[in-house]
Amino acid sequence: MRIYDIIAKKRDGFELTDEEIAFFVKGSVDGTIKDYQITALLMAIYLKGMTDRETVALTIKMAESGDMLDLSGIDGVTADKHSTGGVGDKTTLIVTPIVASLGIKVAKMSGRGLGHTGGTIDKLEAIEGFDTALSPARFIENVKKHGICVVGQTGNLAPADKIFYALRDATATVGCMPLIASSIMSKKLAAGSECIVLDVKYGSGAFMKTAEDAEALSKMMVDIGTKAGRKVAAVISDMDTPLGFGIGNSLEIKEAVEVLKGENVSDLKEVCLTLAANIIKLAEGTTIEDARTKVETALSSGAAYEKFKEFIASQGGSIEQIENTELLPSAEFKSEVLSPYDGYICRMNAEKIGSASVILGAGREKKEDKIDFGAGIVLHKKTGDFCKKGESLATLYTNKADTLKSAEKCFLEAISFGEDEPNRNELIYKVV
């Protein structure tokens, strides 16, 4: 078999066999297939697509390209969730302790921020002492003992995805549905959980700009997971407007704690309850109504908040900072963004708002940049709200005063005003 022939076959629009896909993944990881050949095939896939069978075969081979976590020693049902990425998306911090407090075992590997989107590992590292790099043995031990553990991805989990993702990022081949689906699902399959709930975002802050594309991606990922023997569901949720009010690491921990303590009722809480209920439904085979009642009780009884504190302490994090979130890393400088008009907010471009938070220091512009945990944005108005000229739309926080002006400019460019109350995207579009 020659990679040259496989590239030519896909270039001409033909379907690859399972053996050809296996040959491509193996050769990419062992170095016998060169970067330029991998890139050529990825571009051919981008242009010609893949059938469902090819996408499933590619995902399974990518998952098997490195370590496959064995969670069979853990008693009870294991569950994982994954968000396709967004702005202000702190759902993992809320959903995982809710379901863990109900006895589901959460063994989760999370990522760092990518571009304008935040990452759970960066958020957790805002908490003093929190260790996101536990050994595999400690990871399993924590899941057994506390029912929950969240760490960064280990070195050898789906290495084929690491290679493909870096090349896609540099060659304009990220936005391709079979490649996104195989990238996400290969990591989820390798991470080992039996139940997987995907939070697929749509809108300006998401990879999928329309609900229809998000639905097609969801169906593809659910199909892959099911064929690989896992229980999978996808919740399609709005990311046209940032989720909740806080954007930035300490600010998002603070908001997650408010939801867990029952002090915050917002779009964020609704998305979290929907995700948690879908995990319980998959794990326990109950109706969605019963699952919803259970997760609401876990939140309102304080059980989820207590589980969150246990989880933070079990990975070395400071409980003082959770009980008093004013002790989390903060920002020396702040400024208000004032509304330039009287009118409704018709749209907020979530991607641009995410970029404004990166300018303030909440994310990385370059891979090696250090995050300013105290930096970020607190929104006071969201899409559909009316505001008066001079009223505060948001507060910007940073430890680098010279970023405030350009972040404010970027933030204001993200907002569209109008005289009429706009229609908002549906918060939960569909569950697949």
Please report, as ranges, the residues that interact with ligand URA according to CB under 6 A: 84-85, 165, 174, 179-180, 183-184, 207
Nearer to ligand URA, 82 or 294 (CB): 82
Minimal distance, residue 182 CB to ligand URA, in Å? 8
At residue 184's C-alpha, the angle toward residues 182 and 189, to 5°, is 85
Minimal distance, residue 208 CB to ligand URA, in Å? 10
Nearer to ligand URA, 83 or 355 (CB): 83
Q: How far is Cα 149 from Cα 100, in angstroms, rounded to an integer?
A: 10
Buried-exposed string 103-116: b where 16+ CB fall within 10 A, e elsewhere = ebbbbbbbbbbeeb
Nearer to ligand URA, 198 or 272 (CB): 198
Known active-site residue 82: yes
Known active-site residue 67: no
Nearer to ligand URA, 157 or 180 (CB): 180
Q: How far is Cα 175 from Cα 169, in angstroms, rounded to an integer?
A: 9
Nearer to ligand URA, 179 or 407 (CB): 179
Minimal distance, residue 190 CB to ligand URA, in Å? 12
DSSP 246-297: EESHHHHHHHHHHHHTT---SHHHHHHHHHHHHHHHHHH---HHHHHHHHHH
Minimal distance, residue 268 CB to ligand URA, in Å? 21
Find, among 261, 279, 247, the residue nearest to 148 by Cα: 279
Minimal distance, residue 207 CB to ligand URA, in Å? 6
Known active-site residue 108: no
Query: In this structure, what token pair is assigned to residue 272?
Result: 């979290």
Minimal distance, residue 176 CB to ligand URA, in Å? 8
At residue 222's C-alpha, the angle toward residues 217 and 228, to 5°, is 130
**Class of residue 395 by CB neighbours under 10 A (exposed 0-12, middle 13-18, buried 19+):** middle
Query: In this structure, what token pair is assigned to residue 246?
Result: 């806080």
Give the active site residue among 10, 82, 294, 381.
Answer: 82
Instruction: Give the nearest residue (CB) to ligand URA.
Output: 183
The answer to whether 88 and 246 have CB atoms below 8 angstroms apart is yes
Query: In this structure, what token pair is assigned to residue 314?
Result: 């079990």
Give bridge partners of residue 105 from the DSSP assignment.
78
Give the active site residue among 183, 193, 218, 314.
Answer: 183
Nearer to ligand URA, 208 or 257 (CB): 208
Known active-site residue 231: no
Known active-site residue 183: yes
Active site residues: 82, 161, 168, 183, 187
